[in-house]
Structure 1
Amino acid sequence: MSKFLDDKNVRIKKRTKTKVIISSILIGISIILSLAARMCQDFAQWYSTHIYPVWVETVGRAMGYFPFSVSEVLLYLMILIFLVSGAQLLIRRIRKKLKKEEGYGWLCNVFLAVGVLFFLYVVNCGVNYHRDSFSETSGIQADEYSIEELKEVCVWLTEEVNQYSNAVERNQEGTMELEVSTEEQAVTAMQKLGETYPELKGYYPKPKGLLNSWILSIQNLSGVYSPFTIEANYNQAMTDYNIPFTICHELSHLRGFMQEQEANFIAFLACRESEEATFQYSGNMLGWIHCMNVLYKVDYDAWEEVRGELSAKAETDLQANHEFWARYDGTVAEVSNKVNDTYLKANGQKDGVKSYNRMVDLIVAYKRDRVN
Structure 2
Amino acid sequence: MIRDAKKREKREKRYTVVAWICLILALLFQVIARRVPGFADWYAHHIYPLIVGSVGRVFGWVPFSVSEFGIYVIVVVGAGWLIGQIRAGKPWWMRFLRRVWLIVAMLFFLYTMNCGINYHARAFSEYAGIETGRYTTEELADLCEFLTEKVNENAPVSEADREENFVYRERAWQKEGIRAMQAVGERYPELAGFYPRAKQVTVSEILSVQQLSGIYSPFTVEANYNKAMTDYNIPHTICHELSHLKGFMREDEANFIACLACSFSEERAFRYSGYLLGWIHATNALVDVDRDAYQKCVSKLGTEVKRDLAENNQFWDRYDTKTAKVANQINDTYLKANLQEDGVKSYGRVVDLMLAYRKLEKSGE
Q: So what's the TM-score if we normalise by structure 1?
A: 0.94
Name 1:86's counterpart in structure 2: 82
Letter in 2 for 1:77: V
Q: Which runs of 5+ in 1 are unaligned?
A: none
Whole-angstrom CA distance in 2 between matches of 1:232 and 1:167:
31
Shift of 1:41: 3.7
String of CA shifts for 1:286-306, please: whole Å, max 9, x gaps.
000000000011222221122
Matched, 1:292 2:288: no
Name 2:98's counterpart in structure 1: 108
Name 2:150's counterpart in structure 1: 160
Letter in 1 for 2:213: S
Whole-angstrom CA distance in 2 between matches of 1:84 and 1:231:
27
Matched, 1:330 2:326: no
Shift of 1:202: 2.0
Of 67, 74, 80, the residue aligned with 1:71 is 67
Shift of 1:85: 2.8
Q: Would the aligned equivalents of 2:180 and 2:262 in 1 still touch at CA under 8 Å? A: yes
Of 47, 52, 57, the residue aligned with 2:48 is 52
Matched, 1:268 2:267: no
Name 2:122's counterpart in structure 1: 132
Matched, 1:240 2:240: no
Q: 1:327 to 1:40 in 2, by over 3 A?
A: same
Whole-angstrom CA distance in 2 between matches of 1:167 and 1:133:
38
Shift of 1:91: 4.8
Whole-angstrom CA distance in 2 between matches of 1:353 and 1:88:
42
Matched residue of 1:255: which SS?
A: coil
Q: 1:279 to 1:167 in 2, by over 3 A?
A: farther
Shift of 1:367: 0.6
Letter in 1 for 2:125: S
Name 1:259's counterpart in structure 2: 250
Name 1:170's counterpart in structure 2: 162
Matched, 1:215 2:211: no
**Identity, % of aligned pairs?**
47
Matched residue of 2:232: which SS?
A: helix
Q: Would the aligned equivalents of 2:156 and 2:166 in 1 still touch at CA under 8 Å? A: no
Shift of 1:40: 2.1
Letter in 2 for 1:162: N
Bigger shift: residues 323-332 or 296-305: 296-305
Matched residue of 1:67: which SS?
A: coil
Q: Would the aligned equivalents of 1:234 and 1:243 in 2 still touch at CA under 8 Å? A: yes
Q: Would the aligned equivalents of 1:178 and 1:278 in 2 still touch at CA under 8 Å? A: no
Shift of 1:105: 2.5
Matched, 1:231 2:222: yes
Name 2:5's counterpart in structure 1: 9
Name 2:23's counterpart in structure 1: 27
> How many correspondences in the alignment?
360
Q: Would the aligned equivalents of 2:130 and 2:353 in 1 still touch at CA under 8 Å? A: yes
Letter in 2 for 1:31: L
Whole-angstrom CA distance in 2 between matches of 1:186 and 1:166:
19
Letter in 2 for 1:233: N
String of CA shifts for 1:6-45, please: whole Å, max 9, x gaps.
1111101110111110110011000000011011240000
Whole-angstrom CA distance in 2 between matches of 1:298 and 1:76:
47
Shift of 1:351: 0.5
Q: Would the aligned equivalents of 1:210 and 1:234 in 2 still touch at CA under 8 Å? A: yes
Q: So what's the TM-score if we normalise by structure 2?
A: 0.95
Bigger shift: residues 359-368 or 177-186: 177-186
Q: 1:167 to 1:130 in 2, by over 3 A?
A: farther
Matched, 1:98 2:90: yes
Shift of 1:171: 4.0
Name 1:142's counterpart in structure 2: 132
Shift of 1:193: 0.9
Name 1:316's counterpart in structure 2: 307
Q: 1:144 to 1:48 in 2, by over 3 A?
A: same
Matched, 1:120 2:110: yes
Whole-angstrom CA distance in 2 between matches of 1:14 and 1:90:
22
Whole-angstrom CA distance in 1 between matches of 2:167 and 2:306:
15
Name 1:183's counterpart in structure 2: 174
String of CA shifts for 1:29-64, please: whole Å, max 9, x gaps.
000000110112400001111111111011000001
